[in-house]
Chains A and B, each alone.
Chain A
Amino acid sequence: MSITTDPKIGLIDGPFQRQLEALSQSRSWYNWAGYAAPSTLDCIEFEYFALRNQASLFDISPLFKYRVKGSEANKMLNRLVTRDVNKIKVGRVAYAIWCNQDGMLIDDGTLFHLGNCDWRLCCQEPMLDWLLEAAWGFNIEIIDESATVAGLSIQGPTSYSILSIAGFTLDNIKPFDFYQDRNGVLISRTGFTGDLGYEIFFPHEKASDLWDLIWNSGSDLGLRAIGYDAVNIARIEAGFMTAGIDFMPVQSTEYLHRGQTPFELNIGKLVDFKKGHFNGRRALLDLKDKPRSCLLRFDVGGFKPADSALIYHKKKYEVGHISSGIWSPTVKKSIALAHIKTQYRNSPALFAEIYTLKEGQWIKRMEKMVENKSPFYAPPRAKQTPPFKR
């Protein structure tokens, strides 16, 4: 009798498994929230360049999705997240973060204002118990849509043209707007790449139809299905942080003091102290001006990716580390997101200690780091409305 076939363990299929499996040449799957998700389908390089030059299709169904509705939904969400949700109009999406009572970041995600007192929250970490706790005492209902709503992200310069061919009218959809059709398909102009792109959400049972519609619409416009490895390059180029990599969601840290405040993650502008009380407000007021370290963007010297490098002030004192470091194929630079101890954040003499292994020999390099205050890559097409056709 085999001991390796317990049907309850192992990766499970998402709504697009049939389509993805047929396209997978590299057979490289990773575990995203228990689902088999592609790291690559073919080759990271060509998937990445499809994203930046044509269009890419990426399955985002494993995201956790929660519906929050009821007469006090706005009130409850305003208690939960740090920004003022009353400023988010119906039909808009907003990036939001939420903290525990110590002011430490729990997670980040996108809030969709679907209708009057009707919201959807999409995030990377499971959040049902926290939402239910936060909902206590409010007249609202929380529905876990994680397993019923499927999602596709179509990103890249031809994404708009492809969706137009598919029959969606998105001419007036600005970044962070969304559009809903009568069949329960929601298309938002959002993404994790900093490029022109859209995310599409729909009920699981429509998954095959939607995939086919988009896939066929993209055949002449270079549409390519991609895995997360390519998305990861794009998100670092856009300067976006990832849970568990660039910040530690405080609810899953075991060691003490590994959580981080929004001010330590350089997203302090998402904290609105004027809107009234919210979770973590008191702690954040206290911690606002006392960040222990800062998450910053850096151009790194040389031509080698600097992932995980330790950072030294004057090549001598260890003052931080790189949490995401890549060679950017589009800006042709080594780029990094790095945590630097606050007192050294303006140091003109920061160096990344980079090790490379080549045919049995390690080479150590100390490369100069220069802070880059803007995203590494922000093409104008990402903001243009209506976008260029093709």
Chain B
Amino acid sequence: MEAKKSFDAIVVGAGHNGLVAGAYLARAGMEVLIVEKNDWIGGAAVSRSLNEGWTYSNCSYVCSLFRREIARDLELPKYGLQIIPYEGGASFTRDGNYLAYYSDHYALRREISRFSARDADAYQRYATAVMRQCRFIRPFLLRNAPDPTSVRPRDLSEMAFLIKRGYELGTKELQDTMRFWTMSIGDFLDEHFENDLLKAHLAGSGIIGTGLGVYSPGTAYVLLHHYMGDIDGGIGAWGFARGGMGAISEALENSFKHHNGRLQKGSGIDQFIIKNGKVKGVALENGDEFYAPLVISNMDVKRTFLNHVKTEALPEDFKKAVKRFKIRGSSAKLNISLKGFPKFPSAPQNASFLRGDMHCTESLLELEKAYDQWKAGEWSANPYVDMLIPSQIDPTMAPKGDHMMTVFVQYAPYELKVGNSRSAEHWTAERCKALSESVLDQISIACPNIRSHIEHMEVRSPLEIEKEVGLTEGNIFQGELTFDQLFFNRPIPGYSDYSSPVKGLYICGSSTHPGGGVMGAPGANAARTILQTQSKNMHMTGYAS
């Protein structure tokens, strides 16, 4: 077994999409090797214990987008995956108030009415409009995006499906859809609501992971990207993976290995081995070489083609397109071991929204200002935070009575400005500490005593995420979710079918359609495409086929 060097397919990177692709290929009967640079798997879907007794979801922290078709095909529950939904959320204000989100319709209506009776009713129409967009887009997630310039039968049939779906919408809906896909979340919310706090609460999903502000065109789609998932059929619902997000990767690994998949950790790729325009295998940093006629990169498109493919193997136009692909770091992350449960003085005892996602931003203006600082190369003095305490629901995350807090922070630039220079290297330990102080100040709006409960804290700058996980600039989506790089434009026009100019070299990460988030769809789509086009006798079976 150890001596085996040749495989049917090699996947580079054991992130969740690499594992999904590998698991589907292995199920179809291929001999598959997955290579991973870290000593652990999961990429950004990972659980690690950095402080004894506590488990962090170090990068991604909540789950909704992961396709149920994939979970079912790969039997992930059988291999240990359990997704637990969480309830509600809240945005806290400096004057000691909060706006809570409840899944109970009338409770939510009463809550919004505290701020605006009109918005309470408008919410119903807003939710319906967003849900309609979700219903439109969901069927496209597990299909390839058609290349509109191609006359290949599979592109034509996908195009026909797209046109049919669009036609079914009718004139008005189609107009709304085109507007929605290109407009800003700020404008969309302004059209529906009058209350600033409500707008700020809802706008977060439009900017998470994106180097754009709430009034930048395209952010309405980013919100949709956060709403189109589901838990047990509840579209837009979010939850925790029991044991942290690494539980998803672990279940995928078990499923992959059950079908004789082989995994090699601890050494990253040095170069793809390419001869005469065809991929032959991979050469690892530790000197090992493995061979396969199919190599699938789970790394982002920039890292794959600019760092690990010899430049002469790629056409100039392609290289140029890869270089201009936007993959800007915009966020940081804090993972905190809490001793006991800190007080949220404005919340009632046992409030359900403390078990959901919590924020401390009061207006769209505040969010836009936070974005302005990012443009200037600074982290936001009043950052947008998306914080959760999953240990309230998942008892495996912290010792009894203690808690684990995950804090997503936006904005933080990759190239930090110090004096007149902008560089990622400016992210020193002291500046990470200073960033965390800004974040803790912001959290203090909701939870003034947070600092006295901190037992351990992991602070992750965009640079540090890039170094550890491999995401270029620490961009959580492997490339921004804007219309110029979505759908048939993702990652690069003409290459939305997971292929590349190098024969046999594919990519399957979030840089590809339908984009980022722990969704698994890019991995499944890549596997399906590979089996359809590269294998005569092996087929993908199941719901994602």
Taking a contact as CB atoms under 8 Å apart, the answer to whether B395 and A46 are in contact is no
Contacting A at CB under 8 A, from B51-91, are 68, 71-72, 76-78, 82-85, 87
Taking a contact as CB atoms under 8 Å apart, the answer to whether B401 and A43 are in contact is no
In chain B, what residue has the closest Cβ to A158?
B395
Taking a contact as CB atoms under 8 Å apart, the answer to whether A46 and B87 are in contact is yes
Task: With A303-B68, A327-B233 as known contacts, state yes or no: A222 contacts B82, CB within 8 Å.
Answer: no
Does A289 touch B at the CB level, under 8 Å?
no
**Using a Cβ cutoff of 8 Å, how many contacts connect chains A and B?**
53
In chain B, what residue has the closest Cβ to A220?
B401
Task: Mark contacts of A40-70 with chain B using CB atoms, 8 A cut-off: 1 yes-contact digit, 0 otherwise.
Answer: 0001011001001110000000000000000
**Distance in angstroms between the alpha carbons of A353 and B368 in the assembled complex:** 52
**Contact residues in B for A331 (Cβ distance below 8 Å):** 77-78
Total A residues in contact with B, Cβ cutoff 8 Å = 22
Does A115 touch B at the CB level, under 8 Å?
no
Does A330 touch B at the CB level, under 8 Å?
yes
Does A387 touch B at the CB level, under 8 Å?
no
Does B111 touch A at the CB level, under 8 Å?
no
**Distance in angstroms between the alpha carbons of A342 and B90 in the assembled complex:** 55
**Contact residues in A for B84 (Cβ distance below 8 Å):** 49, 53
Does B365 touch A at the CB level, under 8 Å?
no
**Distance in angstroms between the alpha carbons of A58 and B242 in the assembled complex:** 23
Taking a contact as CB atoms under 8 Å apart, the answer to whether A221 and B400 are in contact is yes
**Distance in angstroms between the alpha carbons of A45 and B239 in the assembled complex:** 12
**Contact residues in A for B232 (Cβ distance below 8 Å):** 45, 327, 329, 332
Task: With A303-B233, A327-B233, A332-B72 as known contacts, state yes or no: A220 contacts B104, CB within 8 Å.
Answer: no
**Distance in angstroms between the alpha carbons of A220 and B393 in the assembled complex:** 10
In chain A, what residue has the closest Cβ to B69?
A303
Does B31 touch A at the CB level, under 8 Å?
no
Q: Give 23 pairs: A residue, B residue, CB < 8 Å, sorted on A.
A: A43-B104, A45-B85, A46-B87, A49-B84, A49-B85, A49-B393, A53-B82, A53-B84, A54-B395, A157-B395, A220-B400, A220-B401, A221-B400, A222-B395, A303-B68, A330-B77, A330-B82, A331-B77, A332-B68, A332-B71, A332-B232, A333-B72, A377-B77
In chain B, what residue has the closest Cβ to A389?
B400
Task: With A45-B85, A329-B232, A332-B77 as known contacts, state yes or no: A54 contacts B393, CB within 8 Å.
Answer: yes
The 6 A-B pairs at the shortest CB distance, nearest first, are namely: A220-B401, A331-B77, A329-B232, A49-B84, A332-B71, A220-B400
Task: Mark contacts of B271-300 with chain A using CB atoms, 8 A cut-off: 1 yes-contact digit, 0 otherwise.
Answer: 000000000000000000000000000000
Taking a contact as CB atoms under 8 Å apart, the answer to whether A53 and B242 are in contact is yes
Give min CB distance, B87 to chain A, whole Å.
6
**Distance in angstroms between the alpha carbons of A43 and B106 in the assembled complex:** 14
Does A390 touch B at the CB level, under 8 Å?
yes
**Distance in angstroms between the alpha carbons of A222 and B403 in the assembled complex:** 12
**Which among A45, A49, A54 has the highest number of chain B CB atoms within 10 Å?**
A49
Does B394 touch A at the CB level, under 8 Å?
yes
**Distance in angstroms between the alpha carbons of A45 and B231 in the assembled complex:** 10
In chain A, what residue has the closest Cβ to B399?
A390
Task: With A327-B233, A332-B68 as known contacts, state yes or no: A53 contacts B394, CB within 8 Å.
Answer: yes
Give min CB distance, A271 to chain B, whole Å.
32
Does B380 touch A at the CB level, under 8 Å?
no
Does B392 touch A at the CB level, under 8 Å?
yes
Q: Is the interface of B mostly helix, strand, loop or mixed?
A: loop
**Distance in angstroms between the alpha carbons of A327 and B68 in the assembled complex:** 12
In chain A, what residue has the closest Cβ to B231?
A329
Contacting B at CB under 8 A, from A231-274, are none
Task: Mark contacts of A217-228 with chain B using CB atoms, 8 A cut-off: 1 yes-contact digit, 0 otherwise.
Answer: 000111000000
Given contacts A54-B395, A390-B400, 5 further A-B contacts (CB under 8 A): A43-B87, A43-B103, A53-B84, A161-B400, A303-B68
Interface residues of B (CB under 8 A from A): 68, 71-72, 76-78, 82-85, 87, 103-104, 231-234, 242, 392-396, 400-401
Give min CB distance, B90 to chain A, whole Å.
17
**Distance in angstroms between the alpha carbons of A390 and B71 in the assembled complex:** 27
Give min CB distance, A222 to chain B, whole Å.
6
**Which among A45, A54, A158 has the highest number of chain B CB atoms within 10 Å?**
A45
Task: Mark contacts of A357-390 with chain B using CB atoms, 8 A cut-off: 1 yes-contact digit, 0 otherwise.
Answer: 0000000000000000000010000000000001
**Distance in angstroms between the alpha carbons of A221 and B397 in the assembled complex:** 12
Taking a contact as CB atoms under 8 Å apart, the answer to whether B400 and A53 are in contact is no
**Contact residues in A for B68 (Cβ distance below 8 Å):** 303, 332
In chain A, what residue has the closest Cβ to B350?
A219
**Contact residues in A for B231 (Cβ distance below 8 Å):** 329
**Distance in angstroms between the alpha carbons of A54 and B231 in the assembled complex:** 19
**Distance in angstroms between the alpha carbons of A227 and B232 in the assembled complex:** 20
**Distance in angstroms between the alpha carbons of A220 and B71 in the assembled complex:** 31
Give min CB distance, B398 to chain A, whole Å.
10
**Distance in angstroms between the alpha carbons of A390 and B393 in the assembled complex:** 13
In chain B, what residue has the closest Cβ to A222?
B395
Task: With A327-B233, A330-B77, A332-B77 as known contacts, state yes or no: A222 contacts B392, CB within 8 Å.
Answer: yes
**Contact residues in B for A390 (Cβ distance below 8 Å):** 395-396, 400
**Contact residues in A for B400 (Cβ distance below 8 Å):** 161, 220-221, 390
**Distance in angstroms between the alpha carbons of A157 and B82 in the assembled complex:** 13
Task: Mark contacts of A149-185 with chain B using CB atoms, 8 A cut-off: 1 yes-contact digit, 0 otherwise.
Answer: 0000000011001000000000000000000000000
**Contact residues in A for B401 (Cβ distance below 8 Å):** 220
Taking a contact as CB atoms under 8 Å apart, the answer to whether B393 and A222 are in contact is yes
Task: With A220-B401, A327-B232, A332-B68 as known contacts, state yes or no: A53 contacts B395, CB within 8 Å.
Answer: yes
**Distance in angstroms between the alpha carbons of A377 and B394 in the assembled complex:** 19
Taking a contact as CB atoms under 8 Å apart, the answer to whether B82 and A52 are in contact is yes
**Distance in angstroms between the alpha carbons of A54 and B396 in the assembled complex:** 9
Give min CB distance, A223 to chain B, whole Å.
10
**Contact residues in A for B104 (Cβ distance below 8 Å):** 43
Task: Mark contacts of A70-113 with chain B using CB atoms, 8 A cut-off: 1 yes-contact digit, 0 otherwise.
Answer: 00000000000000000000000000000000000000000000
Give min CB distance, B277 to chain A, whole Å.
42
**Distance in angstroms between the alpha carbons of A116 and B266 in the assembled complex:** 62
Give min CB distance, B239 to chain A, whole Å.
8
**Contact residues in B for A329 (Cβ distance below 8 Å):** 231-232
**Distance in angstroms between the alpha carbons of A161 and B395 in the assembled complex:** 11
**Distance in angstroms between the alpha carbons of A377 and B81 in the assembled complex:** 12
**Contact residues in B for A157 (Cβ distance below 8 Å):** 395
**Contact residues in B for A327 (Cβ distance below 8 Å):** 232-233
**Contact residues in B for A45 (Cβ distance below 8 Å):** 85, 232, 234
**Contact residues in A for B85 (Cβ distance below 8 Å):** 45-46, 49
Q: Which residue in B77, B83, B103, B395 is a CB contact (below 8 Å) of A221?
A: B395
Give min CB distance, B181 to chain A, whole Å.
24
**Contact residues in B for A332 (Cβ distance below 8 Å):** 68, 71-72, 76-77, 83, 232
Give min CB distance, A19 to chain B, whole Å.
15
**Contact residues in B for A53 (Cβ distance below 8 Å):** 82, 84, 242, 393-395
**Distance in angstroms between the alpha carbons of A129 and B231 in the assembled complex:** 48
**Distance in angstroms between the alpha carbons of A329 and B82 in the assembled complex:** 9
**Distance in angstroms between the alpha carbons of A389 and B379 in the assembled complex:** 43
**Contact residues in B for A49 (Cβ distance below 8 Å):** 84-85, 393
**Distance in angstroms between the alpha carbons of A230 and B68 in the assembled complex:** 21
Give min CB distance, A326 to chain B, whole Å.
10
**Distance in angstroms between the alpha carbons of A161 and B242 in the assembled complex:** 18
**Distance in angstroms between the alpha carbons of A332 and B83 in the assembled complex:** 9
**Contact residues in A for B71 (Cβ distance below 8 Å):** 332
In chain B, what residue has the closest Cβ to A329?
B232
**Distance in angstroms between the alpha carbons of A221 and B77 in the assembled complex:** 23
Give min CB distance, B486 to chain A, whole Å.
26
**Distance in angstroms between the alpha carbons of A161 and B401 in the assembled complex:** 13
Give min CB distance, A51 to chain B, whole Å.
11
**Contact residues in A for B103 (Cβ distance below 8 Å):** 43
**Contact residues in A for B395 (Cβ distance below 8 Å):** 53-54, 157-158, 221-222, 390
